[in-house]
Amino acid sequence: MVYTPDYIARFIVDQTLGTHCHEIFANILGEYAAKGATADDEEIRWKSKTAEKQAWAAYRERLTALRIVDPACGSGVFLIMAFDFLKAELAKVNAKLAELEGLGMAGSLLDPDSEILTNNLFGVDVNSESVEIAKLSLWIKTARRGKVLDSLDANIRVGDSLIEDSSFAYRAHGFEWKTAFPDIFASGGFDVVLGNPPYVRMELIKPMKPWLEKRYEVVADRADLYAYFFERGIKLLKPGGRLGYISSATFFKTGSGAPLRHFLRQQATIETIIDFGDHQIFEGVTTYPAILTMRAGAPPPGHELQFWTIDAMPADSFADAFDDAAMPFPQGELGRGSWELEGAALRTLRAKIMAGKPTLKDVYGSPYRGIVTGLNEAFVIDTPTKEQL
């Protein structure tokens, strides 16, 4: 099991769930606040005292209706961070409503824990032990003396998030999303999808490939399993819902990543890309990770995402470092080839260099891989064997 660092999970939650809530509140202001008021104002001007109460009540109702899912939930770190965010947001709203009603602190002591656990948070994982750990982690967050633990069996489920048919699914745990969560899909799907999809090479998912090839657009001969989680995640969302993953950056440039790049260009409004390069953030595992956040649905004309290619890991706040370093990039310039995320000046220079010039591919043809043994174990030996020989 690969554990996602808390600061990464918290950042993704802020960029997806946090941004989503900010937009919800901004839309509510349009109905109840004075003209020109924004969600960023320290002191919001309201149409009336009654309108202010109605606005905060409407926001609370929208918060309690949010549905958040991690389709590869593991031990539940993303769900825990989402819980913390929602609890803080609801506490703020309840305190504000109590103040407006003249109830003082007594009215702000409403405990939203049970409501968040049973109404807002959902998870699926193919590993039954991970599912139990996720439940336990959430129970620990909400445990109180004398309080009966909430049942999470309907919310945190065992299953293969990608495959419905148990004859193809990993560990025979086929999972029917619309059967498991009928009310959510009756209302259009989830509001937010979060997670760290598993990194599994194509050699290890061959038994699943016949099923995946018939049902996914991102399929490629050498596509890693995480590619299918992007498509599944987008299709779990309501229109305009948000997805945030930390995954591999390798699909930005590989041939096997081309179908995924095309899918995201066409069916998602990418909001954030953070490329960690060679910086390793998962303990004991060598990966080339990237954070991507996006909205479901094609991008509007002229849409720009924010990207950050990390040269050195920040010593302090990751979120503050992103705010300082992120640069805009037009999503429309993510072409069919590899994704080269660069600032405007470097893009202009590259275009000038390339204009009218042949590439190495034009002159010499495409490069290919060198010798592939097909069975590395037959040609690589350990030190004791070498010394014995």
Alpha helices by DSSP H, the chain: 6-13, 19-32, 49-64, 77-101, 113-115, 128-142, 177-180, 182-186, 209-215, 225-236, 258-267, 318-325, 344-354, 360-364, 383-388
Q: Tell which residue, 151, 208, 150, 159, has the closest CA to residue 179.
A: 159
pTM: 0.87
Instruction: Output the DSSP codes for 227-296.
Output: HHHHHHHHHHEEEEEEEEEEEESGGGT-STTHHHHHHHHHHEEEEEEEE-TT---STT----EEEEEEEE
Q: So what's the pLDDT on residue 104?
A: 57
Give the chain's end-to-end CA distance (angstroms, integer): 37
Domain limits of the chain? 6-359
Spell out, as residue ranges, where the chain has pLDDT lower than 50.
Answer: 106-109
Q: So what's the pLDDT on residue 347?
A: 64
Asked whether 187 and 236 are in contact (CB, 8 A), the reply is no
Angle (deg, nearest 10), helices 6-13 and 318-325: 60
Q: So what's the pLDDT on residue 308?
A: 94
Q: So what's the pLDDT on residue 55?
A: 95
6-359 folds as Rossmann fold (3.40.50)
Q: So what's the pLDDT on residue 80?
A: 97
DSSP 3-state assignment of 154?
A: coil
- Rounded Cα distance between 246 and 81, Å, is 14
Q: How far is CA 278 from the centre of its chain?
A: 21
> For the sheet containing 68-70, what is the strand order?
156-158, 121-125, 68-70, 190-195, 237-248, 289-296, 268-275, 304-309, 327-330
